[in-house]
């Protein structure tokens, strides 16, 4: 069974601190996507990062295919960053999501 | 550009009742996905289409769930005889093609009593 593990399961930060979220895959994949979901809100794609490093604003994702992992770095966190961050891998005809990292940013 | 739209937003059923969910993907996206997201869990793919063809429905409980996309545009997901374990948010997403960025709708929250 293809699996996606995310860590940490939850994270509490003070505003301004940085966050590092990790995602590991049970198989090799070159299709990795990071999503954000506010409680009760829709899933929003943050970064599509099949390999290497990609940046979007305060978000930086690094995917290392041969190590079957991807990370998401959030710099200078803001209260509005609070929510759940999910990574997903796509392989042949399967899409598998991780269970997410719940991030809470406090003032 | 309009995003992915879904209806209804909420549904409450008694066990044994049927319900249908509708999804209108982004125009021009040939790939459409249906996910089930139980509370406090990540989405799980139920079925996905390329145009009107079902590509993978291996995770769809075939005895009670069905999904169609007859013209390769809108899609309907139907639960024939709902169970309490079906309580979840049902998400629809579309993408220009397999492996491209997926865009999600707001979801339909289903509660089965």
The alpha-carbon gap from A34 to the nearest alpha carbon of chain B, in Å, equals: 10
Residues of B in contact with A48 (CB under 8 A): 100-101
B106/A42 CB distance under 8 A: yes
A45/B101 CB distance under 8 A: yes
| Residue whose structure tokens are 């997403």 | B93
Residues with pLDDT less than 50, chain A: none
Indicate the residue of A31, A41, A95 with minimum beta-carbon distance to B33: A95
How is chain B split into domains, by residue range? 5-97
Residues of A in contact with B99 (CB under 8 A): 31, 90
pLDDT per residue as tens digits for the range B1-51: 579 999 999 999 999 999 999 999 999 999 999 999 988 788 989 999 999
Residue A30 pLDDT: 75
**Using alpha carbons only, what angle is made at residue A4 by residues B86 and B106, rounded to the nearest 5 degrees?**
45
Structural contact between residues A31 and A90, judged by C-beta atoms closer than 8 angstroms: yes
Residue A54 pLDDT: 92
| Residue to substitute from B23, B34, B36, B43, interface A, most A β-carbons within 10 A | B43
> What fold is seen in the domain B5-97?
Immunoglobulin-like (2.60.40)
Residues of A in contact with B7 (CB under 8 A): none
- SS3 at position B25: coil
Residue A27 pLDDT: 84
How far lies A50's CA from each of A29, A43, A85, B32, B37, in Å? 8, 19, 17, 20, 24
> Going by C-beta distance under 8 Å and a sequence separation of 6 or more, which residues neighbour residue B46?
B34, B35, B36, B57, B59, B60, B65, B67, B77
Structural contact between residues B25 and B71, judged by C-beta atoms closer than 8 angstroms: no
Residue A1 pLDDT: 67
Residue A43 pLDDT: 86
Q: Residue B98 — very low, low, confident or very high, per pLDDT cuts 50/70/90?
A: confident
> What fold is seen in the domain A4-106?
Immunoglobulin-like (2.60.40)
How far lies A26's CA from each of A96, A98, B37, B107, in Å? 11, 11, 21, 28
Residue A38 pLDDT: 86
Chain B, nearest residue to A91 by Cα: B99
Residue B101 pLDDT: 83
pLDDT, average across residues B102-113:
93
| Residue to substitute from A93, A95, A96, A102, interface B, most B β-carbons within 10 A | A95
Tell whether the model's pLDDT for residue B57 goes beyond 90.
Answer: no
Average pLDDT, chain B: 92
């Amino acid at each position: 069974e293809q699996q996606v593990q995310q860590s940490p399961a939850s994270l509490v930060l003070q505003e301004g601190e940085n966050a590092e979220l990790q995602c590991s895959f049970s198989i090799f994949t070159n299709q990795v996507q990071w999503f954000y979901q506010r409680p009760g809100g829709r899933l929003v794609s943050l970064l599509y990062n099949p390999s290497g490093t990609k940046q979007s604003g305060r978000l930086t994702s690094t995917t290392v295919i041969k190590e079957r992992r991807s990370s998401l770095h959030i710099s200078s966190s803001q209260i509005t960053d609070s929510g759940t961050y999910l990574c997903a891998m796509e392989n042949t005809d399967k899409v598998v999501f991780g269970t997410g990292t719940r991030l809470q940013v406090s003032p | 550009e309009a995003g992915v739209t879904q209806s209804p937003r909420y549904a409450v059923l008694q066990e044994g009742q049927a319900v249908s969910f509708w999804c209108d993907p982004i125009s021009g996206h040939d790939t459409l996905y249906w996910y089930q997201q139980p509370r406090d869990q990540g989405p799980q793919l139920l079925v996905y289409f390329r145009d009107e063809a079902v590509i993978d429905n291996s995770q769809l409980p075939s005895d009670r769930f069905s999904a169609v996309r007859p013209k390769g545009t809108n899609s309907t997901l139907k639960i024939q005889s709902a169970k309490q374990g079906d309580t979840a948010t049902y998400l629809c997403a579309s993408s220009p093609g397999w492996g491209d960025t997926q865009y999600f709708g707001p979801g339909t929250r289903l509660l089965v009593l």
